[in-house]
């Protein structure tokens, strides 16, 4: 997703970055890989600049990264996006555990994960915080349930939607990044997926985004002059008046 939506107060020389919810899911998968030796494949639908983000996922420890990129995919809503991603998953082959962030921080629809599960006919578990173990064709995980944390055991295959997010910078070592560039990523288009063009992009969408506007917030400030004691007394009067203390 666009970096400016994730880090609006920072100047960065990158157009796209990893969605914070997907970032948390990836980090948890990499821990699972270290513990079990499983293969981690990252999949994204987007334009050409998305390649740089996927290269970083390989540098972090993912085994493969696949970019779904085609002009036929443009303008897709969550329905069309889910269908394209599901077709790519079918092309990859049997995958026992699918993970994704529960939503993107720009659109915040939270629908794609469930859409993929529906297309593939597999169950989905939402509000996941951590995978604890994966063995005997079952996955054990923690998930939020109101103010509580539930430990759940689920039969594979299953799709997990992560409620947690991380805003830590997606930084990788230079040598790891160079290695990821040598390995490269795979790019699949609509033809390679064998998907009907009428099911993807704007043609396969049920909704259309008219426009996206940033919320405008105005902040006021007051400068307090005087000695330290005077400043403290003035500040306490303001806080008491607004019932902040």
Convert the pLDDT of each residue in 157-175 to its tens digit: 999 999 988 777 667 777 8
**Domain for residue 78, yes or no?**
yes
Comparison of pLDDT for 59 and 9, the residue scoring more:
59
Could you give the C-alpha distances from 38 to 30, 32, 50, 133, 134, in angstroms and in order? 9, 7, 25, 12, 10
Number of structural domains in the chain: 1
- Does any domain span residue 211? no
Residue 227 in domain: no
Cα–Cα distance between 149 and 77 in angstroms, integer?
A: 32
Instruction: Return the closest-CA partner of residue 96 out of 120, 112, 132.
Output: 120
- Domain for residue 221, yes or no? no
Report the alpha-carbon distance of residue 156 to residue 158 in Å, rounded. 5
pLDDT at 106: 74
Instruction: Report if residue 230 sits inside a domain.
Output: no
Q: Which domain holds residue 72?
A: 3-204
Q: What is the reported pLDDT for 132?
A: 92
Total residue count of the chain as it appears in this document: 245
Average pLDDT over every residue of 86-95? 93
pTM exceeding 0.85: no
DSSP annotation of 72: G
Residues linked to residue 152 through DSSP beta bridges, in sequence order: 141
In a domain, 233, yes or no: no
| Mean predicted confidence (pLDDT) in 172-201 | 87
Domain at 137, CATH number: 3.40.50.620
Specify the pLDDT at position 5.
Answer: 57
Average pLDDT of every residue of the chain: 86
Residue 244 maps to a domain? no
* Strand ranges of the sheet holding 186-188, from the earlier edge strand across to the other edge: 41-45, 64-68, 186-188
**pLDDT for res 245:** 58
Quick one: pLDDT band at residue 64, thresholds 50, 70, 90? very high
- Helix (H) / strand (E) containing 148: strand 148-155
Residue with tokens 């400068």: 223
In a domain, 91, yes or no: yes
Higher pLDDT, 179 or 102: 102
Q: Which residues have a Cβ under 8 Å from the Cβ of 54 and sit 6 or more positions away?
A: 42, 44, 65, 66, 67, 185
Position 183 confidence tier, pLDDT thresholds 50, 70, 90: confident
User: What tens digit of pLDDT does each residue of 107-140 get?
Assistant: 778 899 999 999 999 999 999 999 998 888 999 9
């Amino acid at each position: 997703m666009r970096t400016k939506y994730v880090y609006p107060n920072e100047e960065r020389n990158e157009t796209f970055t990893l969605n914070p919810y997907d970032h948390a899911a990836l980090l948890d998968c990499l821990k699972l890989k270290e513990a079990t030796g499983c293969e981690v494949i990252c999949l994204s639908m987007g334009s050409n600049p998305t390649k740089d983000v996927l290269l970083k996922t390989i540098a972090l420890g993912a085994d493969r990264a696949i970019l779904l990129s085609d002009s036929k995919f443009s303008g897709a809503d969550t329905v069309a996006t889910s269908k394209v991603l599901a077709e790519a998953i079918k092309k990859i082959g049997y995958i026992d555990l699918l993970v994704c962030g529960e939503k993107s921080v720009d659109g915040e629809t939270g629908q794609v994960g469930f859409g993929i599960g529906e297309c593939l006919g597999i169950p989905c578990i939402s509000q996941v915080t951590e995978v604890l173990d994966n063995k005997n064709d079952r996955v054990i995980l923690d998930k939020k349930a109101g103010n509580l944390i539930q430990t759940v055991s689920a039969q594979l295959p299953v799709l997990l939607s992560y409620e947690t997010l991380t805003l830590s910078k997606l930084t990788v070592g230079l040598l790891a990044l160079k290695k990821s560039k040598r390995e490269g990523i795979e790019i699949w288009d609509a033809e390679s997926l064998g998907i009907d063009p009428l099911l993807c992009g704007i043609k396969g969408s049920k909704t259309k985004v008219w426009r996206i506007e940033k919320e405008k917030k105005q902040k006021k400030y007051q400068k307090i002059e005087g000695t330290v004691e005077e400043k403290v007394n003035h500040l306490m009067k303001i806080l008491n008046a607004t019932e902040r203390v």
